[in-house]
Amino acid sequence: MTRTRIAVIALALALTGCGAAPSGSAATQDLGDVDAELVALQEAGSAGDGEQARPRAAIRKHLRKDTLHGEVAVQTKDGVRTVVVQRGTITAVSDSGITVESTDGFDLTWTYGDPLRLVRDRKAAERTILRTGVQVGVGGLRDGDVTKARLIVVK
Protein backbone atom coordinates (compact mmCIF):
# COMPACT_ATOMS: atom_id res chain seq x y z
CA MET A 1 0.00 0.00 0.00
CA THR A 2 1.45 3.38 -0.94
CA ARG A 3 2.15 6.12 1.54
CA THR A 4 -0.52 8.26 -0.11
CA ARG A 5 -3.19 5.62 0.46
CA ILE A 6 -2.15 5.18 4.07
CA ALA A 7 -2.23 8.96 4.54
CA VAL A 8 -5.72 9.28 3.06
CA ILE A 9 -7.02 6.36 5.12
CA ALA A 10 -5.52 7.75 8.32
CA LEU A 11 -7.00 11.20 7.64
CA ALA A 12 -10.40 9.73 6.98
CA LEU A 13 -10.09 7.78 10.22
CA ALA A 14 -9.07 10.88 12.14
CA LEU A 15 -11.89 13.04 10.79
CA THR A 16 -14.71 10.53 10.82
CA GLY A 17 -13.74 8.99 14.15
CA CYS A 18 -13.93 12.38 15.80
CA GLY A 19 -17.37 13.04 14.33
CA ALA A 20 -19.26 9.94 15.32
CA ALA A 21 -22.67 10.45 16.94
CA PRO A 22 -23.60 8.99 20.32
CA SER A 23 -23.75 5.20 20.21
CA GLY A 24 -27.03 3.59 19.37
CA SER A 25 -28.06 5.55 16.27
CA ALA A 26 -28.10 3.87 12.86
CA ALA A 27 -25.82 6.55 11.39
CA THR A 28 -23.24 5.89 14.07
CA GLN A 29 -23.26 2.19 13.37
CA ASP A 30 -22.63 2.83 9.66
CA LEU A 31 -19.77 5.20 10.42
CA GLY A 32 -18.43 2.81 13.05
CA ASP A 33 -18.26 0.12 10.39
CA VAL A 34 -16.29 2.52 8.21
CA ASP A 35 -13.93 3.29 11.10
CA ALA A 36 -13.31 -0.41 11.74
CA GLU A 37 -12.59 -1.00 8.07
CA LEU A 38 -10.21 1.96 7.95
CA VAL A 39 -8.28 0.65 10.95
CA ALA A 40 -8.06 -2.80 9.38
CA LEU A 41 -6.87 -1.33 6.08
CA GLN A 42 -4.29 0.86 7.78
CA GLU A 43 -2.86 -2.00 9.83
CA ALA A 44 -2.82 -4.43 6.90
CA GLY A 45 -1.16 -1.92 4.60
CA SER A 46 1.57 -0.80 6.95
CA ALA A 47 2.56 -4.29 8.07
CA GLY A 48 3.20 -5.80 4.65
CA ASP A 49 5.15 -3.14 2.78
CA GLY A 50 8.41 -3.49 4.74
CA GLU A 51 8.50 0.08 5.95
CA GLN A 52 8.69 0.86 9.61
CA ALA A 53 5.25 1.98 10.81
CA ARG A 54 5.06 5.54 12.11
CA PRO A 55 3.12 6.25 15.28
CA ARG A 56 -0.49 7.29 14.72
CA ALA A 57 0.01 10.68 16.36
CA ALA A 58 2.82 11.55 13.95
CA ILE A 59 0.69 10.52 10.98
CA ARG A 60 -2.25 12.61 12.16
CA LYS A 61 0.00 15.62 12.72
CA HIS A 62 1.40 15.27 9.21
CA LEU A 63 -2.08 14.93 7.71
CA ARG A 64 -3.49 17.94 9.54
CA LYS A 65 -0.69 20.00 8.08
CA ASP A 66 -0.48 18.76 4.48
CA THR A 67 -3.70 17.08 3.32
CA LEU A 68 -6.00 19.12 1.08
CA HIS A 69 -8.75 16.70 0.00
CA GLY A 70 -9.45 13.07 -0.85
CA GLU A 71 -11.84 10.16 -0.70
CA VAL A 72 -11.67 6.49 0.19
CA ALA A 73 -14.14 3.73 -0.68
CA VAL A 74 -14.49 1.12 2.06
CA GLN A 75 -16.48 -2.10 2.22
CA THR A 76 -18.85 -2.38 5.18
CA LYS A 77 -21.41 -5.03 6.05
CA ASP A 78 -24.05 -2.77 4.45
CA GLY A 79 -22.08 -2.24 1.23
CA VAL A 80 -19.49 0.19 -0.06
CA ARG A 81 -19.23 3.61 1.63
CA THR A 82 -17.23 6.54 0.29
CA VAL A 83 -15.54 8.63 2.99
CA VAL A 84 -14.63 12.15 1.83
CA VAL A 85 -12.35 14.69 3.53
CA GLN A 86 -11.36 18.24 2.63
CA ARG A 87 -9.43 21.11 4.15
CA GLY A 88 -9.79 24.67 2.89
CA THR A 89 -11.64 27.97 3.07
CA ILE A 90 -15.42 28.40 3.06
CA THR A 91 -16.50 30.20 -0.13
CA ALA A 92 -20.29 29.98 0.35
CA VAL A 93 -22.68 29.27 3.22
CA SER A 94 -26.38 28.38 3.02
CA ASP A 95 -29.03 26.90 5.30
CA SER A 96 -28.42 23.47 3.78
CA GLY A 97 -24.61 23.40 3.56
CA ILE A 98 -21.28 25.00 2.71
CA THR A 99 -18.88 25.18 -0.22
CA VAL A 100 -15.20 24.73 0.61
CA GLU A 101 -12.25 25.50 -1.68
CA SER A 102 -8.87 23.88 -1.06
CA THR A 103 -5.64 25.77 -1.74
CA ASP A 104 -5.14 23.83 -4.99
CA GLY A 105 -8.43 25.22 -6.38
CA PHE A 106 -10.59 22.12 -5.78
CA ASP A 107 -14.02 23.09 -4.46
CA LEU A 108 -16.81 20.92 -3.13
CA THR A 109 -20.30 21.69 -1.87
CA TRP A 110 -21.16 19.86 1.34
CA THR A 111 -24.68 19.42 2.70
CA TYR A 112 -25.11 19.21 6.45
CA GLY A 113 -25.34 15.56 7.49
CA ASP A 114 -27.37 14.15 10.31
CA PRO A 115 -25.78 13.99 12.79
CA LEU A 116 -23.36 16.87 12.27
CA ARG A 117 -20.60 17.63 14.74
CA LEU A 118 -19.17 21.15 14.55
CA VAL A 119 -15.96 21.76 16.53
CA ARG A 120 -13.84 24.83 17.27
CA ASP A 121 -10.91 24.71 19.69
CA ARG A 122 -11.84 21.10 20.55
CA LYS A 123 -15.28 22.20 21.82
CA ALA A 124 -18.74 21.95 20.28
CA ALA A 125 -19.76 25.03 18.30
CA GLU A 126 -22.85 26.41 16.54
CA ARG A 127 -23.39 26.81 12.79
CA THR A 128 -23.33 30.58 13.16
CA ILE A 129 -19.50 30.48 13.17
CA LEU A 130 -19.52 29.20 9.57
CA ARG A 131 -18.88 32.26 7.41
CA THR A 132 -17.18 32.96 4.10
CA GLY A 133 -13.41 33.08 4.53
CA VAL A 134 -13.24 30.76 7.56
CA GLN A 135 -10.72 27.90 7.34
CA VAL A 136 -12.21 24.46 8.00
CA GLY A 137 -11.56 20.74 7.82
CA VAL A 138 -14.59 18.71 6.72
CA GLY A 139 -15.24 14.97 6.78
CA GLY A 140 -18.27 12.99 5.74
CA LEU A 141 -19.84 10.46 3.43
CA ARG A 142 -20.67 10.65 -0.26
CA ASP A 143 -24.02 9.22 -1.34
CA GLY A 144 -24.37 9.49 -5.13
CA ASP A 145 -23.86 13.14 -6.06
CA VAL A 146 -24.45 14.40 -2.51
CA THR A 147 -21.57 14.85 -0.07
CA LYS A 148 -22.82 15.00 3.51
CA ALA A 149 -20.64 16.65 6.15
CA ARG A 150 -20.56 14.71 9.42
CA LEU A 151 -17.71 16.66 11.03
CA ILE A 152 -16.62 20.26 10.51
CA VAL A 153 -13.56 21.46 12.39
CA VAL A 154 -13.11 25.25 12.37
CA LYS A 155 -9.58 26.58 12.63
Q: How many domains does the chain have?
A: 1
Pick the more confident residue, 125 or 62: 125
Whole-number pLDDT of residue 104:
94
pLDDT for residue 92:
97
Q: Is pLDDT larger for residue 8 or for residue 93?
A: 93
pLDDT tens profile 32-76: 444 444 444 444 444 444 444 456 666 566 556 778 899 888 888
Question: Can you give the pLDDT at residue 67?
Answer: 83
E strands along the chain, which residues? 69-76, 79-93, 97-101, 107-120, 123-124, 135-143, 146-154
CATH number of domain containing 55 = 2.40.50.320
pLDDT digits (tens, 9 = 90+) for 70-120: 988 888 898 999 999 999 999 999 999 999 999 999 999 999 999 999 999
